């Protein structure tokens, strides 16, 4: 209903394994973002995309990579999961251009690394 879905909703994985989270949008928005939410830190930006194949790092990008091969999908990969990456991951989308647009957030993926 919000035009943005994340999958999976929950995942438990082992330390050292690669993990990919998916964000899918139906709004044709230009900008897509990946955040992690941790107590005491709020939401911190991991990576973002400003177009197909155009991505850039956020403030906590170490250990993460992203890809955007088409407008609607933005993938976040944990190359080798660590316990410090246990978190709730949110994807967000936003139309292009300046203006006081609010972001639309996905429902989140709760990732546990054991």
Partner 1 sequence: AQRVTQPEKLLSVFKGAPVELKCNYSYSGSPELFWYVQYSRQRLQLLLRHISRESIKGFTADLNKGETSFHLKKPFAQEEDSAMYYCALSGWGSGNTGKLIFGQGTTLQVKP
Residues of this chain that interact with partner 1 (CB under 8 A) are 2, 31, 33, 35, 40-45, 48, 50, 56, 58, 90, 92, 94, 98, 100, 102-108
CB of 87 to partner 1, least distance (A): 13
Nearer to partner 1, 17 or 26 (CB): 26
Residue 85 CB neighbours (<10 A): 20
User: Rounded to the nearest whole angstrom, what is the least distance from the CB of residue 42 to partner 1 in the complex?
Assistant: 4
13 versus 104: smaller Cβ distance to partner 1: 104
Smallest distance, Å, CB 16 to partner 1?
A: 28
Cα–Cα distances in angstroms (integers) from residue 99 to residues 31, 73, 102, 103, in the given order: 13, 24, 9, 11
Q: Which is nearer to partner 1, 79 or 101 (CB)?
A: 101
Task: Name the E strands within 1-114.
Answer: 4-7, 10-13, 19-25, 31-38, 42-51, 54-57, 64-70, 73-78, 87-94, 104-105, 109-113
Q: How many CB atoms are located within 10 Å of the residue 27 CB?
A: 14
Nearest CB to partner 1, comparing residues 16 and 96:
96
């Amino acid at each position: 209903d919000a035009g943005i879905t994340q999958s999976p909703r929950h995942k438990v994985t082992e330390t050292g394994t690669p993990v990919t989270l998916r964000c899918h949008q139906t709004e044709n928005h230009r900008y897509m973002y990946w955040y992690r939410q941790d107590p005491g830190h709020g939401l911190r930006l991991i990576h973002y995309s400003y177009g197909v194949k155009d991505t850039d790092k956020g403030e906590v990008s170490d250990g993460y990579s992203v890809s955007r091969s088409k407008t609607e999908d933005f993938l976040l990969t944990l190359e080798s999961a660590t316990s410090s990456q246990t978190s709730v991951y949110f994807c967000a989308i936003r139309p292009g251009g300046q203006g006081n647009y609010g972001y639309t957030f996905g429902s989140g993926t709760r990732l546990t690394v054991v």
